[in-house]
Structure 1
Amino acid sequence: MNMITAFQSLTWIDGLLVAAYLGVWLGLSWLIEHPSQSRPSVTVLMSEYRRQWMQVMVTREPRIFDAQVMMSLRQGTSFFASTCLLALGGLLALIGNVDPLRGLAEGIGQGDAPAVVLQLKLTLVLVLLGNAFLKFVWANRVFGYCSVMMGAVPNDPVDPRTAPLARKAAELNIRAAMNFNRGLRAMYFALGAVAWLVGPVGLGLALVVTTWLVWSREFASLPRAIVLADTDT
């Protein structure tokens, strides 16, 4: 069966749900990074703390603590990038040979699904995981830029170069964190996309659950409440 026949074997509901899945993934990312002023996301709230961090760093001597935090951030991005790379390798191997999925497909009522249809459904997961990997790699690199910029900040707080370089370091830190968070969201949606193997109902349920998980962590989580809490109380 060729790819055209595979597309024909899927229903219009499948196509609609895949479009909605990708649209919600991209739209939710935009909403998280551009929220209303009355209800900021955790990502936006933490961006301000990253700017404050660089302001405090200027007066901290020595800056060992700042170096350790940056090392921890880069290790986190490296870990997730490595995890994505392993997952991509396994997924590519599975797409090349979907026979191991036959037992699972039969158990969920998809035993008559052609191999190319299963491969097509796994491709959605592959696209999301590939995006996550690229975001993590770029985040790691930008965190590296930030580390170099932090190292260029003079030790003298009154040096005219200190404040501008600290601001640049803060903005680089924020951009790296944005890409790291994009990678995490792509991983959430990649995990949810596996449910398409069950059928359009599975993908629809995964869309609702994944959207709720990502949205609640940014706009209705306990960490967000802690960040917003008045530090004077």
Structure 2
Amino acid sequence: MIEKLVIFGVSMADVLVVSFFLLVWIGYTYVADHSSLHKKSISYAMDRQRLRWLTEASSREVKIVDTNVLRTLITGISFFASSTVLVMGGLIAALGYAEKLAVTFSHLPLINPVTTDGLTLRFCFLLGIFVYAFFKFAWAFRTANYCAIIIGGMPDTAPNQNAAAKQNRITVATSLSSTSGHSYNRGIRAYFFALAGLAWFVGPVFFVAATIVVLLVLIRREFASNSVRMLRGLD
């Protein structure tokens, strides 16, 4: 398999750095979203605030505040989903000019010479990242809408309201909101790693360096930023 990749303009170094990139991305996703360290992340802290928000929403007779919050969240998700489609279109268009771009890249300083096939693979690599991001944003958009419907179906506060049914709606709405938030986060995370992927056009060493920088930025923002400390102070 590696020999075939070399024939198409990808060296052994390229194979290794792409493997490193994917290992870092998958490993970070596991640590941030599924390991025991997840409880120290900003995503976990926000899940707790979602529960508080929707608990309060279930007790409000007029849910104008809650619908405004949902509208803001959905607007942000739809913006990135639309932007991702535009980026994908640009990358697909670039594939048609891969031969000309390969010549242009060969004259740029600091950039390793790359064949047309190698450049095509790099564009396809980025396209794959943004396709993944689009699916995450699309699912975040759908689950946010599901959450809005559940909130809209919450009955007004009443003395005879079934406590178990109320709590069940809160749990479901919180779960849907959390799912939307996590899908949105993974879409944004794909954008960060796509920035690292751009460094592959310069060369394998730059690709590794950019991947490490992106990883460090994500770790700080997820586990050690001022926002995390402030959210933990609300618990």
- Work out whether the TM-score is over 0.5: yes
Distance (Å, rounded) in 1 between the aligned partners of 2:65 and 2:197: 40
SS at match of 1:107: coil
2:105–2:114 Cα contact (<8 Å) kept: no
Change (3 A) 1:140 1:196: same
Partner of 1:204: 208
What is the deviation of 1:15?
0.9
**Distance change (3 Å), C-alpha of 1:111 and 1:178:** closer
Identity of aligned residues (%): 30
| Residues 1:153 and 2:154 aligned together | yes
Q: Distance in 1 between matches of 2:208 and 2:129?
A: 17
Aligned Cα RMSD in Å? Answer: 2.0
Unpaired runs of 5+ in structure 1? none
1:38 is displaced (CA, Å) by: 8.9
Q: Secondary structure at the match of 2:36?
A: coil
Residues 84-109 of structure 1 show CA distances to partners (whole Å, capped at 9, x for unaligned) of 11001001111221224533442135
Is 1:214 aligned to residue 215 of structure 2? no
The corresponding residue for 1:82 is 82
- CA contact 2:133–2:187 (8 Å) conserved in 1: yes
User: Structure 1: which amino acid aligns with 2:63?
Assistant: R
Give the aligned length.
229
Q: CA 1:37/1:209 → structure 2, altered by over 3 Å: closer, same or farther?
A: closer
Structure 2 distance, partners of 1:204, 1:228, is 33
**C-alpha distance 213-144 of structure 1, shift in aligned 2 (>3 A):** same
Return closer, same or farther for 1:111/1:102 CA change in 2, 3 Å cut-off. farther
- The code of the aligned residue for 1:130 comes to V
Give the deviation of 1:121 after TM superposition.
1.4
Mark the CA change 1:82 to 1:42 in structure 2 (over 3 Å): closer, same or farther. Answer: same
Q: Name 1:47's counterpart in structure 2.
A: 47
| Contact persistence 2:77–2:140 (CA under 8 A) | yes
Most deviating of 33-42 and 169-178:
33-42
* Corresponding residue to 1:169 among 169, 173, 188: 173
Shift of the alpha carbon at 1:53?
0.9
TM-score (normalised: structure 2) = 0.90
Does 1:12 pair with 2:19?
no
| Residue matched to 2:59 | 59
- How far residue 7 of structure 1 moved from its aligned partner, in angstroms, is 4.5
Q: What's the counterpart of residue 21 of structure 1?
A: 21
For structure 2, the residue ranges without an aligned partner over 5 or more in a row are none
Q: Spell out, residue by residue over 1:51-86, the C-alpha distance to the aligned partner (whole angstroms, 9 max, x if none).
A: 111111111231100000001110010000011110
d(CA) in 2 for partners of 1:90 and 1:43? 31
Judge conservation of contact 1:142–1:172 (CA < 8 Å) in 2: yes
